[in-house]
Structure 1
Amino acid sequence: MIRRPFPGLSTLSAFAGRVKNPYYRGPATDHFDGVRFFSPEQPQDKGLAEFLRWQFGGGRKPWPKSYPSPFRDKPPAQVPGLRVVLIGHASFLIQVAELNILIDPVFAQRASPVPFAGPKRVNPPGVAFEDLPPIHAVLITHNHYDHLDLDAVERLWQRYRPRIVAPLGNDAVIRAGHPEIVVEVRDWGGACALGNGVTAHVEPAHHWSARGLADRRMALWCAYVLTTPAGVIYHIGDTGFGSGGIFRAVCERFGRPRLAHLPIGAYEPRWFMRPQHMNPEDAVRSFGLVEAEQALGHHWGTFRLTNEGIEEPLSDLDAALRAADVPGDRFRPLRPGEIWRPDAA
């Protein structure tokens, strides 16, 4: 029996003639009801009353206007082994097997549909756009503004003509503003060979999607597993912990990852954020379940999205690692421009 996370979805499907999905049409599955996508384990969406309770309930800790990173990177043109740098928030450059792969590249000043309001970045990208090496592939996890920067995707397309991979429906989101861009879409469980022995596998995550007020869950979201000659890399853009099954499944299907990118920020208040965002304790639990050799923490310290203070993810991660008896060097929270290489781990 399919568990639907949003009680209105069944009704919406019944009236599919009136409710249209502008991004994707396809048969119903165990995570698509004919109109909207959903995570089978994820509880029902919060409503307007709960959103307003969060927004006006207090408890939001102040952030500084500027939180510059001590790191800055100018990557080499290619790397035969493995080199990873955090550009900022959830944007990574992975250089592996002489391929340069960008995940969720966001260079915008705000994670917002408008340039004058919304979460503003408190540090510049750790790699300037002009300092990027030739980009071979761009992987998009979902269409929230802190993960999908359409202007950046268009600039990357004009400069490099990379392979662009995204979960179902996100091709329509990208091509609505830039119809010339070619986007390869996959469902959960799908894969895309990128060359040089590297394959991007599209895997489940507990999250949601929207670019506006009327398109909630109408494009799919995902995590990625990269199988590479340098080992397995597991990247999560956003997810709740759920039962932990999605992490166990990655380990069972792909083996123990060499590296996991795990989000550690945007998690307070827990009563609101738990289904969609892990906190550091959840991230450490997922690290144990996926059995990764190394984890890098991201999704913190660039855009203020939720209630916690800017450095709370660091202290909460430290506490969670000590409680789980995990050495701190096995789970590093990265700052923009900070590099990780396996030979320096």
Structure 2
Amino acid sequence: MMKRRQIIKGTAALGALGACGGGAAVAVTNSKNRYYSGPVSDHFDGVQFFNPDGAAPAGFGDLLKWQLGGGKAEWPDLVPVPQKAKPASSVQDVTITMVGHATMLIQTAGMNILTDPVWSDRASPLAFAGPKRVTEPGIALVDLPRIDAVLLSHNHYDHLDIATMKALHAAHQPMVVTPLGNDTILQNAIPGIRTTAGDWGDTATLGLLSVHFEPCHHWSARGIGDRSCALWTAFVIAGPNGKILHIGDTGFDQGRPYRDLPAKHGAIRAAILPIGAYEPRWFMRDQHQNPDEAVQGFKLSGTAHAIGHHWGTFQLTDEARDAPLIALDAALQKHKVSSDRFRALAPGQSWAIPPL
């Protein structure tokens, strides 16, 4: 293992209501970080994490302006999943299956890895309120193969779901690889859970795989008073069958989450990139890329194939459910990328990634 360093996002917005302390990105409201204590760095001021030279999350005034401004598309109450996947117990090459939203099953080198697992009906701290699931998970929990590891990118409720993590811990006891501070949240909620926390630039080892923590442009919060107390990250999984990039959430940030990857990691076989929750742009632009920016990032990263996720499961923002698919098709044509190379998978769909 690596060396360790010491409102509901219901919609992408709740931590605008409070912060865990002062810093380069937000005003002082508290004096203590409840999740993490460690040395100051270029993205941690001693109390809060921030995006170097980036944009802070929008404030409460902008949140109200968005929520009261109208323009939210109507989503269907339920979208059927024609056929749920029943994955193989293990895969030696690379197969990726869409569960829903940012939850993907990555199977490679005999390892089974889940990203940002959410099987709950709502992306919310409440069972009766908050964004409701409109598609069932593409894999039933009981049909999962042995889960060796979970990659948890950040702590918003549509990515870190405690009920799901409890179920996975009880059934599989996976190693959870997550950025700084999120391990505290998990350990407080689930006694005995195995965690490995890392900072940007760190590496964790999972059997034959290495998991690299890479910068992305986002933020974090579980409620009022803990904004940016825990870090967010992108992951690059390196193994005998090539490299896989997974980004749970990011703003495009002038391409910075992507442009340094080729020099550091070389050829990347597959990227799992967010393409949804991006409207209205004046509010979402800094923290959530749109499909056109996802395609630009795909090209900057030099990746061979990509899967679009973070669409169609929970209505977090204003765009219609199928808008990301339409926008992705337009972006692929605009940037001259074949649709065979960049696919938006629906829940239950799998893709055996072609070799480099």
User: Structure 2-normalised TM-score?
Assistant: 0.91
Within 5 Å, which residues of 2 pair with 1:181-200? 181-195=193-207, 197-200=208-211
Alignment equivalent of 1:225, drawn from 218, 229, 236: 236
Alignment equivalent of 1:254, drawn from 245, 265, 269: 265
Rounded to whole Å, the distance in 1 between the matches of 2:86 and 2:139 is: 6
Identity percentage of aligned residues:
50
| Residue 55 (1) aligns with residue 74 (2) | no
The residue number in structure 2 matching 1:3 is: none
Alignment equivalent of 2:164, drawn from 146, 149, 152: 152
Q: CA deviation at 1:14?
A: 10
Q: Residue 300 of structure 2: SS of its match in structure 1?
A: helix
| Residue 69 (1) aligns with residue 72 (2) | no
Rounded to whole Å, the distance in 2 between the matches of 1:61 and 1:13 is: 31
Rounded to whole Å, the distance in 1 between the matches of 2:336 and 2:155 is: 36
Q: CA deviation at 1:179?
A: 2.4
Deviation string for 1:280-327 (max 9, x for gaps)? 010010011001100100000000000000000011111111111111
Distance 1:27 1:335, change over 3 A: same
Q: Which runs of 4+ in 1 moved over 6 A?
A: 11-16
The residue number in structure 2 matching 1:105 is: 117
Q: Is contact 2:103-2:116 (8 Å) kept? A: yes
The residue number in structure 1 matching 2:8 is: none
Rounded to whole Å, the distance in 2 between the matches of 1:283 and 1:161 is: 33
Alignment equivalent of 1:9, drawn from 15, 22, 33: 22
Q: Residue 146 of structure 2: SS of its match in structure 1?
A: coil
| AA partner of residue 41 (structure 2) | T
Rounded to whole Å, the distance in 2 between the matches of 1:285 and 1:293 is: 13
The residue number in structure 1 matching 2:173 is: 161
Within 5 Å, which residues of 2 pair with 1:1-345? 9-10=22-23, 19-195=31-207, 197-343=208-354
Q: Is contact 1:166-1:186 (8 Å) kept? A: yes
Q: Is contact 2:50-2:56 (8 Å) kept? A: no
Rounded to whole Å, the distance in 1 between the matches of 2:73 and 2:23 is: 38
Deviation string for 1:116-168 (max 9, x for gaps)? 00000001100000000001111100011100111111211121121111100
Q: CA deviation at 1:64?
A: 0.5
Q: Residue 200 of structure 1: SS of its match in structure 2?
A: strand
Q: CA deviation at 1:277?
A: 0.4
Q: CA deviation at 1:68?
A: 2.0
Rounded to whole Å, the distance in 2 between the matches of 1:12 and 1:63 is: 34
Q: Is contact 1:13-1:35 (8 Å) kept? A: no
Q: Residue 304 of structure 2: SS of its match in structure 1?
A: coil
Q: Residue 126 of structure 2: SS of its match in structure 1?
A: coil
Distance 1:180 1:36, change over 3 A: same
Q: How many residues are matched?
A: 337
User: Structure 1-normalised TM-score?
Assistant: 0.94
Distance 1:214 1:14, change over 3 A: closer
Query: What residue ranges of structure 2 are gaps of 5+ in the alignment?
Result: 1-18
Q: CA RMSD in A?
A: 1.9
Rounded to whole Å, the distance in 2 between the matches of 1:185 and 1:44 is: 23
After TM superposition, the structure 1 stretch with the greater mean CA deviation from structure 2, 113-122 or 325-334, is: 325-334
Query: What residue ranges of structure 1 are gaps of 5+ in the alignment?
Result: 1-5
| AA partner of residue 250 (structure 1) | L
Q: Is contact 1:12-1:35 (8 Å) kept? A: no
Distance 1:40 1:343, change over 3 A: closer
Distance 1:11 1:97, change over 3 A: closer
